[in-house]
Structure 1
Amino acid sequence: MDAYAFNLEEYIAFARLAGTDTEGVEVKAAAGGLPKNIVETLSAFANTSGGILVLGLAESQGFTPVEGFDARSVADGLAQACSQKMMPPIRASIDIVPFEGAPVVVAIVPETVPYEKPCYVKARTVYEGSFVRMGDGDRRLSPYEVDRIMEGAHCPQFDCAVVPEADMEEFDSELLSLFLIFQRQESSRAFKDMSDDEILEATKVAARDEAGTLRPTLAGLMALARYPQRHYPRAYVSFARYPGTSKADVTLEGIRFMDSKNLTGPIPLMISEAMNCVRRNMKRVSKMEGAFRVEEWEYPETAVREAIANALLHRDYSPEGLRSQVQVNMYDDRIEIMSPGGLCGEMTVERLGELGASFSRNAVLSRVLESTSYLAGFAEQGKVVENKGTGYFQMCASLQKAGHPAPVARDYISVFVVDLYKKGAAADVRWESSSPLPRLESPLQRAMRKAEQHYPERIVRTVTDFAGESGEAVTIHVVESGSVEFDIVSFMDEADEPVKSSQLIESLGRSKATISRALNRLIEKGVVQRLGGRKGPGIMYRLTRNAL
């Protein structure tokens, strides 16, 4: 994160209105020097989405400068804490900036790369010194969460483990037969001389135990067995339709659930039954297409199916993770899908839906489900998953095409949540104009969006609307007249080629810091594109489309 992307004056103005700091920004007085618990906040930011430390302002006194604050000593101490007290070391950007006539320390703490997490306090153990950011505070990670993070760095292999008590008779004969037929068709040369058992071993649907007996693996059991819950009682899907917008809501008659059901069986059956539950609890909406009236579901079926399939495919199948089930919770304004276990490997919330970006917590199960078909009589048809890294992308594309808000994804290490909203709900969740992917906000971006509501004359505004019946999202970026951003956009609009920041500084008579902050805001909003990397003399900038 670029330090110039954070505007201290605007943020503090917002914090004074809100009366508190936020999830992505921690403000501390540090009157007596660097606080001892600063290492916990460093760990929390590094393990979440990064964040910003502001030292030298007293929150209890309205975020005013602390008298006698030793900025240089605190900055040096913070740099030492980042490099020597944290594992892995944190490469923070630390600066001393003026604020209302006094020096303040501002530190940009980057998120630790996934394969090096968790970032913890070196003087404590990884289980005692790992924290995560929750709200505006720091929470110690549980041992389960620490294990999942470390395990997720390389993606686990619980799905290919032999299930000791299971036997081959537990497979559903029809599901297994279609799986084997598909394998022989797709890999005719490799499997032409193999027996059924040899193919099942090769695809890791089954494996030999220590005694040499062929038994189902967890992946084979979950995908192709008649009742895998015999061995994993919590490996099911719970469906619930709530009467309001939260689990706490009840009807006037005191009813907590308008519909609920526990769905068991192999994954293809659970997906099919979950879709039946969703259809039973959503309305059909009519709309005109030319001279014809067309009916469509309240939620796009493709989006719901992909979300449920992904939850079952990528859930945590460790012994600890199997203590919880996948949840499909339906509210008045959204469908919430909760899956045990967070993201793993190098996948982050920001990369979800990125074409070509895929993660397989359960690589064997992914390959098995790719070759598994829904049976005749199931509500769904075709293969269970595509496994081509496009599942989340397809979900987003179907929602956008139907005119729905973008899905909201949240990664809590121990659980992953996706919310699919109705049309007209979640007004703050918008689509970018150039892609069917949701704009997922970091904690800093959320804080800046709130500040934008109070100070629109100083920040670029983004207006998104849906174009008629096509459901296509059109985003227009509006630059306020008289602002630095307006001057930059006007200058670039008249230029025949990309410009350097030095040209803007000289032509507009603004400081380097002011131009850099404005450029970063324009880039963040998609109005300006940076060319030539992130640093160096060769960087140039140009306008993107839809800038006014």
Structure 2
Amino acid sequence: MGVYDFDLESYIGLARRLGTDTERVEVKAASQGLPKSMAETLSAFSNTSGGVVILGLAERAGFQGVPGFKARAVADALAQMCGEKMEPPVRASVEIVEFEGSPVVVATVPELPPELKPCFVKSRAMHDGSYVRVGDGDRRLSPYEVDRLLEGRRPPRYDREVVEGAAMGDFDEELLEGFMRRQRADSPRAFKGMSDEELLEALCVTARDGEGIVRPTLAGLMALGRFPQRYFPRACLSFTVIPGTSKADVSAGGLRFLDSREIVGPIPVMISELMVALRRNVRVSSKVEGAFRIDRLEYPETAVREAVANALMHRDYSPDGCASQVQVTMYGDRIEILSPGGLCRAMTVDRLGELGVSFPRNQALANILRATPYAEGFAEVGSVVENKGTGYFQIRASLREANMPEPVAIDHITAFEVALYKAGAGAEAGRFGFGFGGRAGGGGRGGVRLPEGAAGGKIVRSVTEWSDETGRFHTIHVLAPGTVECDIVDFLEEAPAPVSSRILMDALGKSKATISRALNRLMDKSLVERLGPSRGPGAVYRLVQ
């Protein structure tokens, strides 16, 4: 259901079957006036994917109209709250409609654009009054999440900061000399007459500390340092090879990982080392073209290299963000690249791949990497990035040329993840797909289909809730359409509360035996879990979280 195609009658019919309201809709009786918690809901909807507020229906009474409901007073109070008690003001559409003979207030709350988030309750200040929608409730954003949303208003400058304790001796001489040579060749007039020291300071590779001592910046150290992890131990890259399509899978020999390593060094070296590890773990096919034999990896090197370079360049380098590494995980059907920090400023998932569109979180680092050469001794040549807004475009183009599915991406407040599916992965991915579901600023769900050829069925489970425990997103589940299992998961996805088998029987028009068999199959696949007693009327079911 979209926010702007909301149908009150259809929704209340669903809510009555479920016995509760849902993620995108908040229903309140408001019999005593506008609820105090309404400001939190306005903030949550504005910071997530928008939503609809319905006032004047009593959930406990089966969503019936509230006797004596003062619709005009409540509507005016809600409009006043949107305009005067929220920052920035919420531009909601508030109207009074009639439902089953009773007046009801319906307010449509749009999602704020990235450059205006977060929306917060004025009386509580930004870091204590910003919320996000999760399930059918409102969750207060952590200070870290608020800071990441603020980057949509102005680019951060962490990459320009001096690294305390670092010195010029921490630079890799080969990379540093190659960088300066490239800069002088590209812009001879701009740097004419500048000393090396002046050039490096002008390009934010170095800066002066409070005592006037020249030291490397974070950007300079990450791009051109010998061992930046001396100062930022977790600003590294992890590479893991999983034997199946889920982290729960193990190999025939009982191994959880076929390969696992932590890659350190400056960004050019980490990318090159990652490519070495990738070539060691993927299949290679050969094709004779003329007098030459061409070897091709099952994943285009350009796509992987660009995705990893983007992750390292655009990741969150704030003090909190530096506590997490970029993760590259290779499964039997895909490669996932996860970086700390979501998309920055006006960039959205929908705009990825637009030629020339680039909103780098770390502008100084992006400029430095444009002229940073790869280290000698590796297969990579040229500069690390182009910094022209073409990185994601190249990923898509190289996958398309290899007849592979489009990349699948999700943006989250605290992380960004990209999946590259290899050709023909649909059969292997039968039960499990990638954990994406469209942009949902703080844990909301949104429907999105896997690229054509990536899976034969429809996505029936799409969760964008970030798990601090696992350090990744939950998994969506792909089932063949038209099956009872698929219909059950469809229904459970819309239900914010666990439901009984009786509700499923009534909603889907199936017998008790059919529903029970389908539920057992879904539980065997760890897609659905049962709560309460194993038998009897007290048992209810929900999707595995």
State the distance in 2 between where 1:396 and 1:287 align: 23
State the distance in 1 between where 2:73 and 2:313 align: 51
Q: Which residue in the other structure is 2:164 paired with? A: 164
Q: Which residue in the other structure is 1:66 paired with? A: 65
Change (3 A) 1:241 1:171: same
Q: Which residue in the other structure is 2:384 paired with? A: 384
Q: Which residue in the other structure is 1:282 paired with? A: 282
Write the mapping of 1:391-410 to structure 2, written as runs, cut at 5 A: 391-410=391-410
SS of the equivalent of 1:328 reads strand
CA drift of 1:277 comes to 2.7
CA drift of 1:29 comes to 4.6
State the distance in 2 between where 1:4 and 1:147 align: 29
Q: Deviations over 1:378-419 (max 9, x none)?
A: 232221111111222222333344444443333332222223
My pick for the range that moved more, 10-19 or 386-395, is 10-19
Q: Which residue in the other structure is 2:199 paired with? A: 199
Which residues of structure 1 form unaligned runs of 5+? 429-437, 451-461, 467-548
Asked if the contact 1:273/1:379 (under 8 Å) is kept, the reply is no
SS of the equivalent of 1:189 reads coil
My pick for the range that moved more, 210-219 or 100-109, is 100-109
- Aligned letter for 1:390? T
Q: Which residue in the other structure is 1:84 paired with? A: 84
Write the mapping of 1:122-137 to structure 2, written as runs, cut at 5 A: 122-137=122-137
State the distance in 2 between where 1:248 and 1:364 align: 40
Change (3 A) 1:447 1:179: closer
Asked if the contact 1:335/1:419 (under 8 Å) is kept, the reply is yes
Quote the sequence identity (%): 60
Write the mapping of 1:96-495 to structure 2, written as runs, cut at 5 A: 96-99=96-99, 102-251=102-251, 254-284=254-284, 296-423=296-423, 424-425=425-426, 440=438
Asked if the contact 2:407/2:451 (under 8 Å) is kept, the reply is no
- TM-score, normalised relative to structure 1: 0.71
- Aligned letter for 2:161? A
Change (3 A) 1:350 1:54: farther
Q: CA RMSD in A?
A: 3.7
Asked if the contact 1:237/1:264 (under 8 Å) is kept, the reply is yes
Asked if the contact 2:85/2:123 (under 8 Å) is kept, the reply is yes
SS of the equivalent of 1:94 reads strand
CA drift of 1:314 comes to 0.9
Asked if the contact 2:374/2:381 (under 8 Å) is kept, the reply is yes
- Aligned letter for 1:92? A
- TM-score, normalised relative to structure 2: 0.71
CA drift of 1:257 comes to 2.1
Change (3 A) 1:4 1:241: same
Asked if the contact 1:242/1:331 (under 8 Å) is kept, the reply is yes
Aligned residues: 444
State the distance in 1 between where 2:26 and 2:13 align: 14
Q: Deviations over 1:350-397 (max 9, x none)?
A: 333333321121111101000011133223222111111122222233
Q: Deviations over 1:198-219 (max 9, x none)?
A: 2212212122233333221111
State the distance in 1 between where 2:255 and 2:261 align: 15
Change (3 A) 1:160 1:144: same
State the distance in 2 between where 1:396 and 1:51 align: 32
State the distance in 2 between where 1:405 and 1:8 align: 38
- Aligned letter for 2:309? A
SS of the equivalent of 1:240 reads strand
Asked if the contact 2:437/2:445 (under 8 Å) is kept, the reply is no
Q: Deviations over 1:131-164 (max 9, x none)?
A: 1123443211111222232344211111112222
Change (3 A) 1:14 1:304: farther
State the distance in 2 between where 1:17 and 1:447 align: 21
SS of the equivalent of 2:123 reads coil
CA drift of 1:98 comes to 4.4
CA drift of 1:15 comes to 5.6
CA drift of 1:316 comes to 1.3
Q: Deviations over 1:426-482 (max 9, x none)?
A: 899xxxxxxxxx995679xx98969xxxxxxxxxxx99968xxxxxxxxxxxxxxxx
State the distance in 2 between where 1:270 and 1:312 align: 9
CA drift of 1:223 comes to 0.5
State the distance in 2 between where 1:5 and 1:289 align: 54
Asked if the contact 2:168/2:215 (under 8 Å) is kept, the reply is yes
